[in-house]
Chain A
Amino acid sequence: MSVLAVVCALLVVLPLILVLFYLLKMGVSSLNWNFFTKLPEPAGVDGGGMANAIVGTLELMGLALVMGVPIGLLGGIYLSEYGSEKTNTWIRFGADVLNGVPSIVWGLIGFTLVVAPMGGYSAFAGGLVLACIMVPLVLRTTEEVLVLVPTSYREAGMALGIPRWKITFNIVLRTAAKGIVTGVLLALGRIAGETAPLLFTALGTTLWNTSLKDPIAALPLQIYNYAISPYPDQNRQAWAGALVLILMVFLLSASVRIVSSRRKK
């Protein structure tokens, strides 16, 4: 019986080991200076790189951060500081339901609300869609850490006659800062690898993006396109791109560890 449980645990670990092994094996050999600095070559031409996709992914993450985090954060503050139990239950429930919406569907939403009215695929649409995915994630984690801040801290602030909103900003948020940053980083890690919502919003391009109104390349999109491509050189670059993407994601989760394990002075 114990043996069976051990076997289960090993089988759960095995895919991670295999996927990391192959990413290193297939990806490392294609990582070179060109990969990080060059634009993609046309299909069939060997060489080129994913510079625009790497920058594009960072840009999309930045856009999502700017649009999604304030809303998620303020929403979380509402739940912990102002909301009544009844409304809170509904908002939490709604956030959980939104978390379960398949990511491809967000692509349809972005297409209808931004791409169709604006008349074209755009970086803005991609960022907005990723922000929509972030909002419920950040809201839930923010609330969870804010309710852990002792009520006596707030009372101390009240006793000094500090306005409520200043108490929230300077005392409650500061006390919970570590937890909030952790939540935001986790949400960023989740959206960094999202591909499906970008298919009909950011679209991808082989050029540099210069305007929010133009399509933008993203690492996951480029990996997808190169993976299903018939050209071996593009398949090879897909592995390299995947290696870079997973390093980005792991770097984010490592920074979560660092943030959450750092002791408060």
Chain B
Amino acid sequence: MSKATTQALPLSAADLPAPNRLGNRVFEGLTLVSAAMIGVLFLLVVWVLVSGARMAMGVYGWSFLTNMHWNPVTDNYGALPFIYGTVVTSAIALLIAVPLSVGTAIYLTDLAPVWQRQPLTSVIEMLAAVPSVIWGLWGLFVLTPWLDAYPYTWLNKHFGSIPLFGAPFSASCLMSAGVIVAIMILPIVTSVSREILRSVPDLQREAAYGLGATRWEVTRIAVLSYARRGLMGAAVLGLGRALGETMAVTMVVGNSPKIPASLLQPGWTLASVIANQFGEASTDIQRSVLFEIGLVLVGVTILVNIGALILIKSIETPGSRRA
């Protein structure tokens, strides 16, 4: 205990010497166990999903992922319609959300008058706080009927010859789910993009201005290209959220286990099929199949999130502004 006085000042809390008392040891043990719960929870997630899915994996093997049929009556289960639905809705969501979010982030960091920044940031935080089920409710009764009446009708009238926008179209469809998910990932992509843009050193901007660049050129050349990796990370993080979105999607995607030719027709996603079918699953094999869908979902989501973390970390450099 008295050792500390003779040494140089400790660098961090962890370097402080701990007197060897019972209370200390018990407390440290408790905190260690709690921290280790993170690992325990992770292993539980993996173990529960793998053991739940084992039966389905044994029966269907890898063809489960490429089988496009879903028929509970004949116990013929394939995940392809849900994988397709998840990929398509997430892609639509990213196509809508990423440009809007990056635009907003540029506005917030480089263009907006100072008095607007705090209120706008608060609004984005509020947007993030709206629960999924409320987006679903609003989507079901307000957004999708409107989409159906105007944009979808227009798309179908002018581009109906392209199968992607072909008839018959309905309010509950993959496109509707994509739009709702886009709204739901706007806040996270915007706030991460904003952090990334803030971390671009001011020198970078000043140098571009010094060369006579216009404001737009500064943003494009000095800021955006510098932050490209980080912004990709923000988009990938948004993708991670989009993949797992459940309730709002369940309420507007149409819940049909088919691969529709048109984006304006009902589909289903990995997360929403679990939400919809698990409670009613009557046979062991049906439950097991849904566990395997959960396993696929978690596996993909975790990989995507790790990718995002790596991309975002890669741009965190010292000397950035307004840290």
Contacts and interface: CB of A to CB of B under 8 A. Distances in A.
A161 to B, nearest CB: 8
Contacts of B106: 5, 8
A98 B38 contact: yes
A71 B131 contact: no
A231 interface: no
Contacts of B301: 100-102
A1 B223 CA distance: 14
Interface of A: 1-2, 4-9, 11-13, 15-16, 18-19, 22-23, 26, 70-75, 77-84, 87, 90-91, 93-98, 100-105, 107-109, 111-113, 132, 135-136, 139, 147, 151, 154-155, 158, 161, 163-166, 168, 172, 189, 192-196, 199-200, 203, 220, 223-224, 227-228, 235, 238-239, 242, 245-246, 249-250, 253
Interface stretch (B27-35, B148-156, B202-210): B27-35
B291 A108 contact: yes
Interface residues of B, number: 94
Nearest to B52: A112
B294 A196 contact: no
Given A22-B138, A84-B14, A196-B246, A16 B44 contact: no
Closest 8 pairs (CB-CB, A-B) = A193-B131, A102-B244, A8-B103, A165-B27, A74-B34, A78-B31, A100-B305, A5-B107
Contacts of A91: 35, 38-39
B131 A75 contact: no
27 contacts: A8-B103, A12-B124, A13-B120, A73-B34, A75-B37, A78-B35, A91-B38, A94-B38, A101-B301, A103-B246, A104-B275, A105-B45, A105-B274, A105-B297, A108-B52, A108-B278, A109-B44, A151-B11, A151-B16, A155-B9, A158-B16, A165-B23, A195-B133, A195-B247, A199-B278, A227-B140, A238-B137
B275 A196 contact: yes
B134 interface: yes
A151 B9 CA distance: 10
A155 B16 contact: yes
A18 B134 contact: no
B163 interface: no
